[in-house]
Chain A
C-alpha cells in the first residue's frame, strides 16, 4: 500500500544488503502502511540483522556444513529404489543417491535425463513422439519376430509394418525402412542379407549351428534407431508455467552429449543426473550447479528441505575447486590434504605414514586433525586469535592503562 518513493529507495539502497534482500525489503514495505522514517528504520534493522548473521572470520564452515548435511543424512531412507518423482522411472534416492553424488561416481546407479523440447515439438504430441523415437534405443525385438530355420541355416526376421511406420514417422514408406534395417544388419553382423518385402533372411557363411545361434544373439543387441544407452523414454505433459503446458521426456539411461544434438531437443534446458556427463559436455561450472541441484533435490525428496543451500554450495565448490570433479573421500579431497597426519587419520593409516616417511614429508600442523593428534590448540575460531600489546607504546602510556592497544592478530 505504500508507494516506494525516492526517499525510501535511498535509505534502502544505502544499506549493504545484497540485491535479493533489498527486493524483499521493498516488497514488505509496499504491502504495508509505512512512513519514510519507519522505512529507513526497517532498512537499518534488516541490515544489522544481516551483518550479524554473516559468518565470522575463522569460523569452521566446513565442519558446520559436514554436520548440517550429515545429521539429516541419518534420517534418510536406506532404500535404493523408489518410484517417486517421475512417472514409472526408477530413480535412486535418499542416502544411496547422496553418497553417490559426494563420491562422484563415474556412472550413477540409475542414470536419467530430463529432456525439454523446442517450441513446436513441445506442444504437439506427434512431434514429441518423433523425438522419443530418435532417443529411445530400438532393438530388433521391438520391430518384428525372429525365427531360425535350422534346416536351411537361416535367420529370418519378419518386420512389423505398423511398428516401422510408427517408429520412423518421417520415412516415405516402410519399404525404405526395411532396406535401412537390412543394411544395419549387414554392417553390424558382417553377413549378407536377402530381403523380400518385410522379411529379411540371412545366415552364417559356413553351415554351423553355433554361428547361427551366435548371429541371433548378436542381432538382439543391435541398435537400429536412437541412442544405445537409453533404454526407455517416458513422455509426460507438464505445466511449467500457468497456462503453458508442454511435453517433457524422461529417459532411463543417459547420453547427454548425444541427446543435445537431436533435432527438437531444447539444448538450453535439457539436463541429466550424471555429473560427469554434465562436466564433459558443459564444463565445470555447470557441473557445480548440478551437484548443488541434485543434492538439494535428494534432501527435499526426503522432506529434509530445511538444510541451508549454502552448505551444499560449499561442498560443490570444494568438489570442483581444481577444475575437475573430485570426490569427497580417500580418492579425492581427503586424500589430497597437505598434512600427512590428517590423511593418516582418515583411512589406510599405514600406507600414508609409510609413503610420507619414504618421501620425507613435512607436516606444518595447520589443520584441525593434526593438531588434535599432537595436542595443540586448533587454529580455528578463538584458537587462532592472539592478544598482543604494542611494546613501544606500553612504556610511555603505562600509567593510562591502554586496553585499546590489544589487537586481534
Chain B
C-alpha cells in the first residue's frame, strides 16, 4: 500500500485531545456534531483515530498561510 499521507493533496491530519476539542468548540460556539465530518474509513485518517474523535487538519491554504480546520470522525 502507498503511504497516503505523503501525497501532496493530503494535508496533515492529527487527533485533537479533549482539552483542544473544548477550546475549539468554545471558540466557534458550536456543538461537536456541528463540525464537518470525516468517515471512519477515510484513508487519510491517523490509525489511532476512533469514532467521536475530532481531527485537526492543517491545510496549506490558498488564501491564508495555514488553515486549521476540524472534522468529527463518524461511522460510515
Interface residue range, chain A = 20 to 34
Majority SS at the chain B contact face: loop
Per the CB 8 Å criterion, the residue count for chain B at the interface is: 28
* B7 x A282 contact (CB < 8 A): yes
Whole-angstrom CA separation of A322 from B71 in the bound complex: 9
Residues in A with CB closer than 8 Å to B39 are 284, 323-324
* A285 x B13 contact (CB < 8 A): yes
* B42 x A323 contact (CB < 8 A): yes
Residues in B with CB closer than 8 Å to A323 are 36-39, 42, 71, 74
Whole-angstrom CA separation of A290 from B7 in the bound complex: 12
* A285 x B57 contact (CB < 8 A): yes
* B36 x A286 contact (CB < 8 A): no
The chain A residue sitting closest to B63, CB to CB, is A310
* B8 x A268 contact (CB < 8 A): yes
The chain A residue sitting closest to B6, CB to CB, is A268
Residues in A with CB closer than 8 Å to B57 are 285
Say which residue of A268, A282, A310, A324 sits within 8 Å of B44 (CB atoms): A282
Residues in A with CB closer than 8 Å to B10 are 282-283, 285-286
Q: Is B20 an interface position by the 8 A CB rule?
A: no
Q: Is B30 an interface position by the 8 A CB rule?
A: no
Q: Is B45 an interface position by the 8 A CB rule?
A: yes
Q: Is A261 an interface position by the 8 A CB rule?
A: yes
* A283 x B63 contact (CB < 8 A): no
* A271 x B9 contact (CB < 8 A): yes
Which positions 1-57 of chain B face chain A at CB distance < 8 Å?
1-4, 6-11, 13, 36-39, 42-45, 57
The chain B residue sitting closest to A321, CB to CB, is B36
* A261 x B2 contact (CB < 8 A): yes
* A18 x B64 contact (CB < 8 A): yes
Say which residue of B43, B62, B63, B71 sits within 8 Å of A281 (CB atoms): B43
Residues in B with CB closer than 8 Å to A282 are 4, 7, 9-10, 43-44
Shortest Cβ distance from residue B61 to the other chain A in the assembled complex, whole angstroms: 8
Give A residues with C-beta under 8 Å from B.
18-20, 260-261, 267-269, 271, 278, 280-286, 289-290, 292, 309-310, 313, 317, 320-324
